[in-house]
Structure 1
Amino acid sequence: MILPIVAYGHPVLRKMCEDITPDYPKLQELIANMWETMYSSSGVGIAAPQVNRPVRLFVIDSEQIIESLEEEEKAEYPGDNGVKGVFINAHIVEAAGEEWAYNEGCLSIPKVREDVYRPETITLRYVNENFEPQERTFSGVTARVIFHEYDHIDGKLFIDHLKPLKRRMIKGKLEDITKGKISVDYKMIFHK
């Protein structure tokens, strides 16, 4: 089932999310719905707070980004073949490498894209959808997508990484999103 996506301005997007246990109600259904919601809205990742659940869960599919790149662009991200996966109770072990810019957008902040600087790699400790413990290091575009979704479960948004001047420049767009004055081709929840 396609779930509505929470729009910028809703308080759930600013909550520090809680770890969950394997008996979290209808967890597998929620994961399936998050995949369906992400793909139907042309996303590459979606976090539980974006579907109004303040829990440490996100899904990503960076394979679709890597597949869409030209060969010379793929060379910019050596060793990154993309990842399609479920991340539950994720916690950062290490963020390393030089920070680099990438133009990010967010389903909860539609029609706003900005360059964000993030480290080259991220090492995460998490459990997968079967609650099997994982610890992996990701790089390239995949690390970028993970950093972005990880921010969501920590109550942060990509715009928090922008310099104050840039934030002021997009203030009007953000206010329009908060007020529901935006047209997207997916269902959104606006905070009243």
Structure 2
Amino acid sequence: MAILPIIETPDPRLKQISKPVETVTDAHRTLIADMFETMYDAPGIGLAAIQVGVAERILVIDLQPEEDGTPDDARPEDIKRMREPRVFINPEITWESPELSVYSEGCLSVPEMYADVQRPARIRVTWLDEQGQAHDEELDGLLATCLQHEMDHLNGVLFIDHLSKLKRDMLLKKLEKLRRVRG
């Protein structure tokens, strides 16, 4: 496995629309493993393939913290069981609830910036897993929000694109200032 570089805004690749995966291959499974390693290292809870420069409709999510709250004497195999990695290939939302929820979202491609984003509270989604098996499930809570956020990436949309122009511009200025300070 490898930690891949994460593309950050304003890189134009983040505006690309990702292509569907025709057949899930070993190369995709390697990419998925690298994406998880990259996401855990960042650290983050979701990552779309386009964020590591691959314009295919693949994303990974794990809402579980890697080691937070884990006893110091925990064995590595116990820590792995605490994780709940999810792989979504060619995900499609087939239904959205009329009820909305608001989460303070952040993004590995817009580092250290957060803003409230309103999205459907529940969604029904179809997708393939890393073995090419089809799934259909209704999701809610943080998983539904995170999946919608990552699916936006597949369509060239960042969470800041859901904000007013004023809020988006303020966040981008703040990000530029942070980059200058860090050199």
**Same topology, TM > 0.5:** yes
Q: 1:118 to 1:25 in 2, by over 3 A?
A: same
Q: Say yes or no: does 1:10 pair with 2:11.
A: yes
Residue 8 of structure 1 contacts residue 174 of structure 1 at CA under 8 Å; is this kept in 2? no
Task: Let me know the Cα RMSD of the aligned residues.
Answer: 2.4
Q: Say yes or no: does 1:39 pair with 2:40.
A: yes
Q: 1:21 to 1:183 in 2, by over 3 A?
A: farther
Residue 25 (structure 1) shift: 6.8
Residue 83 of structure 1 contacts residue 142 of structure 1 at CA under 8 Å; is this kept in 2? no
Aligned to 1:74: none
Rounded to whole Å, the distance in 1 between the matches of 2:181 and 2:120 is 32
Residue 111 of structure 2 contacts residue 175 of structure 2 at CA under 8 Å; is this kept in 1? no
Residue 12 of structure 1 contacts residue 53 of structure 1 at CA under 8 Å; is this kept in 2? no
Aligned to 1:99: 100
Aligned to 1:130: 131
> How many pairs does the alignment contain?
168
Please list the CA deviations of residues 111-136 of structure 1 after superposition, one character each: whole Å capped at 9, or x if unmatched. Answer: 11111111101211110100111111
Q: 1:173 to 1:135 in 2, by over 3 A?
A: same
Q: 1:123 to 1:25 in 2, by over 3 A?
A: same
Amino acid in structure 2 at the alignment position of 1:58: L
Q: TM-score, normalised by structure 1?
A: 0.79
Q: Say yes or no: does 1:144 pair with 2:145.
A: yes
Amino acid in structure 1 at the alignment position of 2:165: P
Rounded to whole Å, the distance in 2 between the matches of 1:93 and 1:55 is 20
Aligned to 1:168: 169
Q: TM-score, normalised by structure 2?
A: 0.83
Amino acid in structure 1 at the alignment position of 2:86: G
Rounded to whole Å, the distance in 1 between the matches of 2:181 and 2:26 is 33
SS at match of 1:126: strand
Return the structure number with greater relative CO, CA threshold 8 A, min gap 6. Answer: 1
Please list the CA deviations of residues 72-102 of structure 1 after superposition, one character each: whole Å capped at 9, or x if unmatched. Answer: xxxxxxxxxx953100011111121322211
5+ unaligned residues in a row in structure 1: which ranges?
69-81, 185-192
5+ unaligned residues in a row in structure 2: which ranges?
70-82
Aligned to 1:188: none
Give the alignment of 1:47-86 within 5 angstroms. 47-64=48-65, 84-86=85-87
Q: 1:92 to 1:23 in 2, by over 3 A?
A: closer
Please list the CA deviations of residues 111-162 of structure 1 after superposition, one character each: whole Å capped at 9, or x if unmatched. Answer: 1111111110121111010011111111001111101101011110000111
Greater alpha carbon shift after TM alignment, 10-19 vs 92-101: 92-101
Rounded to whole Å, the distance in 2 between the matches of 1:117 and 1:132 is 31
Aligned to 1:88: 89
Residue 124 of structure 1 contacts residue 135 of structure 1 at CA under 8 Å; is this kept in 2? yes
Aligned to 2:116: 115
SS at match of 1:118: strand
SS at match of 2:147: helix
Rounded to whole Å, the distance in 1 between the matches of 2:170 and 2:24 is 44
